[in-house]
Structure 1
Amino acid sequence: MSALFDFAVVGAGISGSATAYELAKRGHSVVLIDQYGPASMASGWTLAGVRQSGRHKAEMPLARAAVERWQTLGNELEGETHYRQVGNLRCARNDEEADRIAAIVAEHRALGLEMHLVTGKEVQEIAPMVSPDVVCASFCPTDGHADPHATVKSFVDAATRLGAETRFGELVTALEITEGKVSGVVTVKGVIAAGQVVVATGIYGNKLIGRFGYHVPYEVMSATMMRSVATPAPQMPVIGVANGDTTLRQEVLGQFRIGGGHEVWDGHLELDPWPQVRPPASSVAELIKRYSALVPELAGVKLDRLWCGLIDQTVDALPVLDILPEAGGIVLATGFSGHGFCLGPVTGAILADLAEGATPDLPIEPFRMSRFAGVAVSSTVELHG
């Protein structure tokens, strides 16, 4: 079977759409496939933080490269990202959290990241709305946030201008393998022939690789999310807490996007007409209580929308970026554990390199599948985007 496309990319979140763009930019024929559409699940549900702070040291080179790329990404894509480099303020609400914040600052400074430990009125000088009860905070001035839907749309639009095709509303059900080598994908509408396949389907990655003996050890968690109506406020950093159970930032049109907490997903998803996961009332009530204590001025804000974001949380809270020989040599990206949005622009370049058979410029050994062989690792989730 002759290939219709050089590359098929499955999943139109930020990782998949960025990969399709990178491959099209390099002159390849590309098809981007998604069972729903761009940013229809995790990439659209995220808080959309663009941060280096609070990351595992293995992710730091990717995060720093990504933040540099975000500076000019909108111009590169000839589209909007609504990126704002306003900093990230991570607060301690008690002495135990203060110890954790101090440790984060020390760890990140040792890695060369600009981080400041702020106390007392210094916290309110950075973010006047934050409660004076906050004990201390870390501040990373080079962090920020962006708009997830606008960014993914800009990646898709840029890819299509470069000749990429899109197949939205088309579910991929299997990989097509010919003589041990991937030769395309099987969808509900037929076979799409391609010389190489990149799978970036978030929580659905294991469904496509399972028949080949692969399984990424992740648990699907749901994080309660909410958005306020437009609310006047001075420009402020992304605001979070030491254990990641409460995070908020202000969107470009003034709405506050708020998230936090996580629990095992019950598997229930509605189509309305896009995928929707509804949060339980108890989680909503707890999140309102926490963000109201952290930013008292938002205690009475009116809420416009409630939803859950789904997190493919690996056992070590690190993603998988790898080639799977037993699955025809496909390229897999999954398990971003709730903090893959920022990495999207460099994830796309890494996956494009792997798909071409090239060695990425950035270190990805910590993200290989082989790390899971017989290893039990405890995980920590950071829900800052």
Structure 2
Amino acid sequence: MPHEPAKNHDVIVVGAGISGASTALDLARRGVDVLMVDRFCPAAMASGWTLAGVRQSGRHRAELPLARSAVEIWASMDEELEAETFYRRTGNLRCARNEAEAKIILDLVKEQEAAGLDIALLKGREVQKLAPAVSEKVIVASYCPSDGQADPVATTKAIAEAAKRAGAKTLFGERVLSLDRDASGAVIGLTTEKRRLAAGKVVLCAGVYGNELINPLDLNVPMEVQMVTMMNSTPTERIIEQVIGTANATGSGRQEPDGKFRCGGGHETWNGDIVVEDGMPRVRPSVKNLLWAMENFCDLVPAFRQARIERIWAGLIDQTPDALPVLDEPAGAPNLVIAFGFSGHGFCLGPVTGRILGALVSGEDPGYDLSPFRLSRFNSWSGGEAAPLSLHG
């Protein structure tokens, strides 16, 4: 099929997850002619698959200022978006079941107290006093009361709708095939399966598909795509309020407002298999990962053994070597801004990520030190052991 003629936009945002939708919203509110493009629809992949924790605890020191700002934004998002995100500030418990895990928690609390975060160390029965459903195997836990949780699909769709009301245009159901450049190497738009689209700038929030589009530009974000098993139970009696996870972030879970457990864990390298059913992408977890994830969460919340499983899926994580995202205007590709590699914990950051990217596109100071998130930090990286996953949102 021949491509339609190019159409001009100030900015095209590729990806309608929470980062892309938040960027489109910020730009639209600035009066920018912005188009948001996605091969599926809002929240179709990582932003819809996530646990949807909204946390500051357990963050890398470089990421903590962004998370703290994001949590402030989350407090008034329902009013701002004129929609329900189901955000609740219920706290986060990160649990240790043995001495090795306890050391992780002790170090975490010490470091984050020093960074100014309100976080407490709970020992022994203090854990079960706060959260009676937590297993007595848990001997130590960190507790951050200002952390919380939200509905990932409702939130992302609400942001996308707010962006449309502010003037953003959308193009869903079309895969972006390539970024287009002029003779100087500057990005001037993109080509989808059906058309060419011209733009002053392109913002790439494409998650696990980001490298497909920047590799032809001689750019690459080193990352390994991990597959994490997730599940929902049927509605059950409410027994936990906090987001509850393991010290080493191998698994976590929470109860949604309707009483359903949403939990997951375990990870393995993605083999590339993905299916599209009813227009939506699906990744199927392995039996091994499923059994491990179930047992791991039961070890934290024994009552989960009585739950009935309603839905099972796998989420994909764009895991970078240092578990930090890339937020950058890469050298050698003028007019391009990239934001992916969130390593499984970009959901909370989404609202502030959108503001940062909006500022970069507009040539403004984003208000944060972005040096830890530059692509150039990987220039001397030649492979090796990557940072561990962090699965709390």
**Band of TM-score, shorter chain:** over 0.9
Taking the aligned partners of 1:30 and 1:260, their CA distance within structure 2 comes to: 37
What is the identity, as a one-letter code, of the residue corresponding to 2:387?
Answer: S
How far has the Cα of 1:2 moved from its partner? 8.4
Name which of 143, 160, 164 aligns with 1:160.
Answer: 164
Name which of 311, 328, 331 aligns with 2:334.
Answer: 328
Taking the aligned partners of 1:174 and 1:293, their CA distance within structure 2 comes to: 46
SS at match of 2:322: coil
How far has the Cα of 1:235 moved from its partner? 4.9
Q: Find the counterpart in structure 2 of residue 358 from structure 1.
A: 364
Assess if the C-alpha contact under 8 Å between 2:37 and 2:172 holds in 1.
yes
Deviations along 1:107-142, one digit per CA (max 9) or x if unpaired, are 100000011111122111211100112111010000
Deviations along 1:165-219, one digit per CA (max 9) or x if unpaired, are 1100011111121243222111111111111110000001111111111111000
2:392 aligned with 1:384, yes or no? yes
SS at match of 2:368: coil
Assess if the C-alpha contact under 8 Å between 1:177 and 1:328 holds in 2.
no
How far has the Cα of 1:326 moved from its partner? 2.1
Name which of 211, 219, 224 aligns with 1:214.
Answer: 219
| Matched residue count | 385
* Higher mean C-alpha displacement, 117-126 vs 41-50: 117-126
* Higher mean C-alpha displacement, 233-242 vs 29-38: 233-242
Name which of 258, 262, 279 aligns with 2:267.
Answer: 262
1:87-106 alignment runs, 5 A limit: 87-106=91-110
Q: Find the counterpart in structure 2 of residue 297 from structure 1.
A: 303
How far has the Cα of 1:329 moved from its partner? 2.7
Q: Find the counterpart in structure 2 of residue 246 from structure 1.
A: 251
Deviations along 1:57-100, one digit per CA (max 9) or x if unpaired, are 01000000001110001111111111010000001010110111
How far has the Cα of 1:324 moved from its partner? 2.2
Name which of 161, 169, 180 aligns with 1:176.
Answer: 180
Assess if the C-alpha contact under 8 Å between 2:21 and 2:156 holds in 1.
yes
Assess if the C-alpha contact under 8 Å between 2:96 and 2:141 holds in 1.
yes
Taking the aligned partners of 2:107 and 2:284, their CA distance within structure 1 comes to: 35
Deviations along 1:27-64, one digit per CA (max 9) or x if unpaired, are 11111000011010011000001000111101000000
Taking the aligned partners of 1:241 and 1:93, their CA distance within structure 2 comes to: 8
2:139 aligned with 1:135, yes or no? yes
Name which of 63, 83, 92 aligns with 1:59.
Answer: 63
How far has the Cα of 1:368 moved from its partner? 0.2
Unaligned runs of 5+ in 2: none
Taking the aligned partners of 1:12 and 1:98, their CA distance within structure 2 comes to: 38
Unaligned runs of 5+ in 1: none
Assess if the C-alpha contact under 8 Å between 1:317 and 1:336 holds in 2.
yes
Assess if the C-alpha contact under 8 Å between 2:6 and 2:197 holds in 1.
no
SS at match of 1:102: helix
Deviations along 1:128-165, one digit per CA (max 9) or x if unpaired, are 10011211101000001111101111111101011111
Assess if the C-alpha contact under 8 Å between 1:61 and 1:363 holds in 2.
no
Percent identity over the alignment is 51
Assess if the C-alpha contact under 8 Å between 2:226 and 2:316 holds in 1.
yes
Q: Find the counterpart in structure 2 of residue 12 from structure 1.
A: 16
Taking the aligned partners of 1:250 and 1:179, their CA distance within structure 2 comes to: 53
Taking the aligned partners of 1:328 and 1:230, their CA distance within structure 2 comes to: 50
Assess if the C-alpha contact under 8 Å between 2:250 and 2:389 holds in 1.
no
Deviations along 1:212-244, one digit per CA (max 9) or x if unpaired, are 111110000001101101111145110001011
Assess if the C-alpha contact under 8 Å between 1:248 and 1:258 holds in 2.
yes
How far has the Cα of 1:327 moved from its partner? 2.6
Q: Find the counterpart in structure 2 of residue 197 from structure 1.
A: 202
2:322 aligned with 1:316, yes or no? yes
2:230 aligned with 1:225, yes or no? yes
Deviations along 1:251-272, one digit per CA (max 9) or x if unpaired, are 1211110011111001100111
SS at match of 1:271: strand
Taking the aligned partners of 1:253 and 1:336, their CA distance within structure 2 comes to: 28
SS at match of 1:361: coil
Taking the aligned partners of 2:51 and 2:386, their CA distance within structure 1 comes to: 24
